[in-house]
Amino acid sequence: MSWPLAISPASDFSLQNLPYGIYSTDSDPSPRIGVAVGDDFVLNLKAISQAGILQNVGASPYLETTTLNDFMGQEASVWKTVRSSLQALLSSPTSPFPSSSTCVEASSSVTMHLPCTIGDYTDFYSSREHATNVGTMFRGPDNALQPNWLHLPVGYHGRASSIFLSGSDAAVVRPSGQLQKNATEPKEGSTYGPCRLCDFELEMAIFVGGPTNPPGTQVTMDEAEDRIFGFVVMNDWSARDIQKWEYVPLGPFGAKNWATTISPWVVTPMALEPFKCKTSAGEQVDPTPLPYLIDKNYGSYDIKLGVDIQGDGMAKPERVVTSNFANLYWNVKQQLVHHSVTGCNMRAGDLLGSGTISGQTEDSFGSMLEQCWKGTKEVKLGESGQIRKFLKDGDVVNMTGTCEKEGFGKVGFGNCMAKVLPAGSKLKAGAGNGTWVEA
């Protein structure tokens, strides 16, 4: 292995990034913590920790585990020390690794796993453009936003057991459930059958970190930044017709509990620091949030987001959404703070979804529901000749996120990908923990 490690300027995994994940190899099937370096290498943090070669870190049990939970649960100062030590190690003029070690492994040999045990999952609804679009479709433009929307980050509790890992062969099964029999007359009741309006939702999510706040205490805005371990891209799959029938009065249930896909690498706030920017809202003044929700450094990150679809018979994926993480009115710190305002204890490994991220232009709308405007428009899939309103069986949906800025290495998240299988299809566990593939 030559040193320093060769990293292409086009790689999403520059030295600015250094994201964490859990992986295994055929030669060592035990899951362990890895760090992506360029497109070709993964650092084995278990081996590096056991070798004691990380400056100011040394041997650390929390780096030698099979999930990221213990590392996530450390103070933010520990995360920063590990990151700076990794950067120093990778910048060394000569290789710091023993010649016979497994401290560096080939990316081509790794199988990725869910990054941690996810205890709880909450999904928010924090893009003003998305909320306005959906509200306009169902309630008209004069009542698009509910009265509470500009006063708090709206959210609901999801299902952690159906959070799955992205993969080139990953799959989800079109759900079946109750569907409203007559679209204009709910009193006629329902029928049972496969979802006809299967959809994606372009989201990102944060993993909570740091020591758990005791029940009955709040995470304050001053504390919030040190409670965010990292970010992933997320597809919160949706069954729009099932949701329409079931959501009154308590909100979505089966329509949202069947599948959520996340990207495998967890990108830290330190990696994203150079890409801080204003939100699409710019400021929150009409109304001004209540004091506990005021973020003196209100802003976001310039993360360019995209969604591609490749259907059966298509030669290549075609872009259907181009959006940006900055298109959130309520930012991730405000989401976390509001989640805990009632005294909810937030634990390392909890996942908080951003909600669908839509911008002001049609090509930035983060769901098929918006792209086809409730079924009234056709969505063209590039030059493939195919069109969509909602997802078809066989569609492969891939979401990506990248940050680029002159003077800094590129930061990306890897793919968030899965294929939609017909209702009734069977899945089997994939090679990586949390990945499911067609049986």
Q: Which residues are catalytic?
A: 130
Q: Please return the burial class of 419, using the count of CB atoms within 10 Å of its CB with bins 0-12, 13-18 and 19+.
A: buried
The identity of residue 246, as a single letter, is E
Q: Which amino acid is at 142?
A: D
Backbone dihedral region for residue 107 (phi beyond 0: left; psi -120 to 50: alpha; all else: beta): alpha
Tell me how far CA of residue 265 lies from CA of 47, 105, 222, 231, in angstroms.
19, 16, 27, 8
Q: Which one-letter DSSP state was computed for residue 170? A: B
Q: What is the distance between the alpha carbons of residues 185 and 208, in angstroms, rounded to a whole number?
A: 43
Report whether 16 contacts 90 (CB < 8 A).
Answer: no
């703070």: which residue's tokens?
337
Dist CA 196 CA 60 (whole Å): 50
Q: What are phi and psi of 306, to 5 degrees?
A: -145, 155
The structure tokens listed for 334 are 């405000």
Read off the tokens for 151. 């006063």
What is the residue whose two structure tokens read 């792209």? 371
Give, in order, the Cα–Cα distances in Å from 156 to each of 121, 247, 335. Answer: 9, 12, 11
The one-letter amino acid at 108: S
Neighbouring C-beta atoms of residue 340, cutoff 10 Å:
20
Element (H, E) at 221: helix 221-224
**How far is the C-alpha of 243 from the C-alpha of 247, rounded, in Å?**
6
CA separation for the pair 295, 284 (Å, rounded): 10
Cα–Cα distances (Å) from 46 to 86, 211, 368, in that order, read 13, 22, 42
Burial of 256 (0-12, 13-18, 19+ CB in 10 A): buried
The H or E element spanning position 94 is none
CA distances from 252 to 173, 180, 247, 256, 366 (A): 18, 14, 5, 6, 18
